[in-house]
Amino acid sequence: MKSLFITATGTNVGKTHTTLKLIDTLAKQGLRVGVYKPVETGVKGSPADASLLLEAVQDVNPDFASLTTNDITAYTFPLPAAPYCADTKGIIDLQYIVDIHDNLLKKCDILLVEGAGGLMVPITQSYLMIHLIKELGASALLVTPSRLGCINDTLLSMMALRSFDISFDWCVNLYEDKESFSAVTKPYYDTVFPHWWDTEKGLEAFSKTLFA
């Protein structure tokens, strides 16, 4: 059993998009895939991201068939903000988040854990998303954008993961500024990270390394 934490350089970068594609890719390799969304904010009714993820997993893993979004999320909040800010009543229990992770891990070969926002998003006043990755003992997949300025965001996130000694790979969700990406950003990646990959072309190769 293995846990992979899907994180990003920030919000609206493509974590859910990437996680959904990973579910499909891993299932086609014969793996029982599970999913976990520890905290989702901006929830009005049913949690949108968790609903999409659960529906996808239920199609490929019967052990998740009877679960609801309440089973794959520890906390949901209506305010679209960092968990610490959205948690206006101070109810977040970090051990509860870990316990749900450990229980879901028993139902699958690999558990995909989708974070909220980026690595430095506060879950509590002193506990950040990157602390959760470390505590879960998960490896990470860093999803980065293709828009102007993404090099800086990507390098900062890499530095953070390395400073916490977290094993990670990274990919580009190539959708913003797609036309200018080849001139504005790609030359640097090609030179410094010649094996970089994007979510549309590299997920299958990446997924095969998870249990190598």
Domain ranges in the chain are 2-209
Quick check: helix, strand or coil at residue 96?
Answer: helix
Task: Tell me the residue length of the chain.
Answer: 212
Instruction: Output phi, psi for 203, to 5 deg.
Output: -65, -35
pLDDT band at 1 (very low <50, low <70, confident <90, very high): confident
pLDDT at 158: 98
In this structure, are residues 111 and 1 in contact, taking their beta carbons and an 8 Å threshold?
yes
Average pLDDT over residues 4-29: 97
Q: Are 40 and 76 in contact (CB under 8 A)?
A: yes
Confidence check: pLDDT of 161 > 80: yes
- Give 5's DSSP letter: E
From the CB of residue 76, how many other CB atoms can be counted at a distance below 10 Å?
21
Tokens 């990507």 sit at which residue? 154
Exposure of 115 in the CB half-sphere (CA atoms within 13 A): 33
User: Does the pLDDT of residue 180 top 80, yes or no?
Assistant: yes
DSSP summary character for residue 113: E
Q: Is the pLDDT of residue 134 over 80?
A: yes
Query: How far apart are alpha carbons 169 and 140 in whole angstroms?
Result: 7
Going 71 to 92 to 113 to 47, the CA torsion angle's sign is positive
CATH topology for the 2-209 domain: Rossmann fold (3.40.50)
How far apart are alpha carbons 209 and 108 in whole angstroms? Answer: 18
Catalytic residue numbers read 37
Token pair in block for residue 56: 């996808």
Report which secondary-structure segment, H or E, holds 195: none
Percent pLDDT > 70 in the chain is 100
Tell me: pLDDT of 23 over 90: yes
At 34, which helix (H) or strand (E)? strand 33-41
Instruction: Indicate the pairing of strand 73-77 with strand 2-8.
Output: unpaired
**DSSP symbol at 128:** B
